[in-house]
Amino acid sequence: MLYHSKLALAALVAAAFLALAVGDASAGRLSVNERNFELIWDNALPGKTKYEIIIPTLGINIQCKLTLLGRFNSNTIVKSPGINEATINHSVLNECEGGSATLRSETLPWNIRYRSFAGTLPRITRLTLGVLGARYRLREPNGFECEYSTEASHPGSTILESGLETTGEPENATLDRNSRIPLRGLFLCEIPGEAEWGGIGLIRNLPRTGFLRFTLI
């Protein structure tokens, strides 16, 4: 009887390790149901805000309405920060306050890469993507003017959240204020050195008929 009990215990342990292995393997990728998407930062939308460009050391906070149109390269996202998973192909920036911002449209398309997720598998609470190549020219009312650009070493992080943990469909695209975006231009731009971005936006499929749904595969 003791021998059979040991065999049963060994079988249970082996099955548990196999389940963990399968779980780890399946957590290596994400799927998304829609490839075309739209991101909108507009304070006219309930619970959303404008896109913010912030230079805390100079007290600068430029807020604009921003719309981005993009496309995932496939319906599968590999959880590797070195792979371009999507592109931003079109951008509209307008109705700025606290200064002005001009999109450097010649820098399009911009790349999007996976950065991280939060939560306990298989339930994800937040998915963080990094935007590379976004470039804007900033000008505040007193004439201070700089450019800032997200890059591989300083990506602009965007957190998809609110709804992921229940339906897999994020409601918010929150720009991570911890992103440090290099400033370039006149020598005065070297004094603060970096900018931040912020804002809570909307993410939808394109042509905005439903949600994007992310699942582990």
The dihedrals phi and psi of 113, each to the nearest 5 degrees, come to -125, 150
Q: Domain residues for 50?
A: 29-216
40 assigned to some structural domain: yes
**Looking at the predicted structure, is the pLDDT value of residue 17 above 50?**
no
Query: Which residues does 68 contact at the CB level (< 8 Å), separation at least 6?
Result: 38, 39, 40, 88, 90, 91
Decide if 121 is inside a domain.
Answer: yes
Asked whether residue 21 is assigned to any structural domain, the reply reads: no
Note whether 132 and 115 are within 8 A (CB): no
If you compute the radius of gyration of the chain from its CA atoms, what whole number of angstroms results?
21
Considering the domain boundaries, does residue 163 fall inside one? yes
Residue 23 confidence (pLDDT) above 90: no
Helix (H, G, I), strand (E, B) or coil at 56: helix
pLDDT tier, 201 (very low <50, low <70, confident <90, very high otherwise): very high
According to the model, what pLDDT value does residue 58 have? Answer: 86
On whether residue 20 sits in a domain, the answer given is no
Output the pLDDT for position 27.
59
pLDDT tens digits, 96-127: 999 999 999 999 999 999 999 998 877 889 99
What is the number of domains present in the chain? 1
Q: For residue 91, is it within any domain?
A: yes
Measure the CA–CA gap between 123 and 106, rounded to whole angstroms.
Answer: 39
Asked, for residue 201, whether it belongs to a domain, the answer is: yes
The answer to whether residue 15 sits within a structural domain is: no
Question: Which of the residue ranges 11-15, 39-43, 80-84, 155-159 would you say has the lowest mean pLDDT?
Answer: 11-15
Task: Provide the whole-model pTM.
Answer: 0.84
Residue-wise pLDDT tens digits, 122-145: 788 999 999 999 999 999 888 889
